[in-house]
Structure 1
Amino acid sequence: MRVRVLGCSGAIAHGCRTTSFLLDDNVLIDAGTGVGDLTLEEMARVDHVLLTHSHLDHIAALPLMLDAIAARRLASGAGPVKVHALPGTIAALKVHIFNNLIWPDFSAIPSTDAPLMRFVPIAVGEVLQVGGKSVEVLPAVHTVPAVGFAAHTEAGHWVFSGDTGRNPAFWERINQMTVALLVIETAFSDREQALAQRSLHLAPQMLAEELEQIGSDRRYPIYITHTKPAETGLIMEEIRRFDLAPRQQGASRHDIRWLSAGQTFEL
């Protein structure tokens, strides 16, 4: 499986695009502004969109992408783009986005029987079969209903935490998996730790405590995502600092790396 990082920033700025990953050429994990770097042909090949939650930085490009590819998808008879999300996320999209006020309701265009988009409810623990891939829905802890995802590959699981605060259930589950690569958010620096706690995001010291829950016999690359552009440098320095001096005596350093838009992983 190929994973292409379209966007991995916690906000927009020059060169910064918000969260979206393309699995092979037909499955999107989140639909942030990074989707805008795909060509029309690439967007039209997307059959499934898996959403972690309803916040704008993770869904901003979804309505625009659907509008851009509508004519191609309908003319080709490709069928609806399936948007897989928690029931609470689907409800938020119906009320606040696809409401014929902010954007057309593509779940009823051109008709409810043959729409451009179809919502598919998901649940934590469910294993989805989408676009020839097996993707498990993982727990997340956020200010709105939220999940992470783990996509099975020959090399192990590609794991994405989604937006989350402290999340023991997440670690319990992935410690049972063979993990090839973990993508985990760290939205704020330690000076903004109170804001991180209130908004249910991670800051470096909170991340350090979360990583202590990784099984002692497990080691895999950990990629940091969702940093705020104004704080990225500070967040990176704070993470380097804690990883140089593990909190637990005898603990080894983690293999922590920095995610960037444009990276591609072959798993």
Structure 2
Amino acid sequence: MQVRTLGCSGGIGGELRTTCFQVDDDILIDAGTGLGNLSLEQMKGIRHIFLTHSHLDHLAGIPLMVDSIFGDITEPVVVHAAPATLAALREHIFNWVIWPDFSILPTASRPVIRFEAMQPGEVVELDGRRIEMIEVNHVVPGVAYCIEKGVKTFAFSGDTTTNDTLWPALNRHARLDALVVECAFADEDEALSQKAFHYCPRTLIADLAKLNHRPRIYITHLKPGAEDRIVAQLQARLPDLELRRLSGGQLIRL
């Protein structure tokens, strides 16, 4: 299994792109502006998109992608998400005002995209990969994903703050090789992080103590301009942890 970081920033500007990860060649986890780093041919190979929640920085690429590949695919791209996230997509994006409804284009029987609801705890199996949805704690309904392929296990937290749902779910797996976890704000902005339901270094480190595994840890979703402070605060608190700042284009091989 290979995870390619197409976007991992908490904002845009210059080289920064928002959250999107490509698993092997055919799966996306979230579809923020990082999706635009795929070529047209690579977009045509995407068969499944798993969304963590309904915020724009995690799904902005979907409308433009399906429009770009509209005439070149024979099967719909399946968008997997919690029911509340799919409802938001239908109501606020694919509503004929912001964007055409590609779930019924070119016809209702042969659409470009198909929405498929998942519930926390549910597992989707795709060509030897088991993708589990896990509830997390965000300002809108949010989820994480844990992916197993063979003996390797990868997890992505999505957007979240302090919770007691992600960590027990990950502990139930026999192993965890790599964890991508958000930390959007520096410690001096902890009050804002709490209002936005994001981690800061202090709260993330408190939650990492709930994890029984010792995976490689990649930090994502850092706010532009605060990246170095956030990483320095994390490393100062946990100098012995294998912790890395994620960057655009980075490959996570498992």
Q: What is the TM-score normalised by the length of structure 2?
A: 0.97
Q: Is the 8 A contact 2:161 2:204 kept in 1?
A: no
Displacement of 1:258 in angstroms is 1.1
What are the equivalent positions in structure 2 for 1:208-223 lying under 5 Å apart?
Answer: 208-215=205-212, 218-223=213-218
Runs of 4+ in 1 over 4 A off after TM superposition: none
Instruction: Give 5+ residue unaligned stretches, structure 1.
Output: 245-252
2:130 is aligned with 1:143 = no
Conserved 8 A contact 2:222-2:230: yes
> Is 1:46 aligned to 2:33, yes or no?
no
Give the drift of 1:132. 4.5
Number of matched pairs: 253
What is the deviation of 1:233? 1.1
Contact 1:155 1:180 in 2 (8 A): no
2:47 is matched by which residue type in structure 1?
Answer: D
Choose which of 117, 122, 129 in structure 1 pairs with 2:125. 129
Q: Is the 8 A contact 1:48 1:130 kept in 2?
A: no
> Aligned partners of 1:175 and 1:110: how far apart in 2?
44
Equivalences for 1:107-126 in 2 at 5 Å?
107-126=103-122
Match of 2:203 among 206, 221, 224: 206
Q: Give distance in 2, aligned partners of 1:35 and 1:92.
A: 20
Structure 1 CA distance for aligned equivalents of residues 33 and 53 of structure 2: 15
1:105 aligns to 2:95 (yes or no): no
**8 Å CA contact retained: 1:26, 1:131:** no
Matched, 1:181 2:178: yes
Match of 1:247 in 2: none
Distance of 2:104 and 2:153 partners within structure 1: 35
- Determine which of 260, 263, 266 is the counterpart of 2:247: 260
Shift of 1:134: 1.3
Q: Give the structure with the higher percent helix.
A: 1
Q: Are residues 1:191 and 2:178 paired?
A: no
Q: Match for 1:223: what amino acid? A: Y
TM-score in terms of structure 1 length: 0.92
Between the two proteins, what is the percent identity of the paired residues? Answer: 44
| Corresponding residue SS for 2:99 | coil
Q: Choose 1 or 2 for highest CA Rg.
A: 1
In structure 2, what is the equivalent of residue 36 of structure 1?
36
Distance of 1:139 and 1:158 partners within structure 2: 16
- Other structure's SS at 2:114 match: strand
Gaps of 5+ in 2: none
Whole-angstrom CA distance in 2 between matches of 1:183 and 1:68: 29
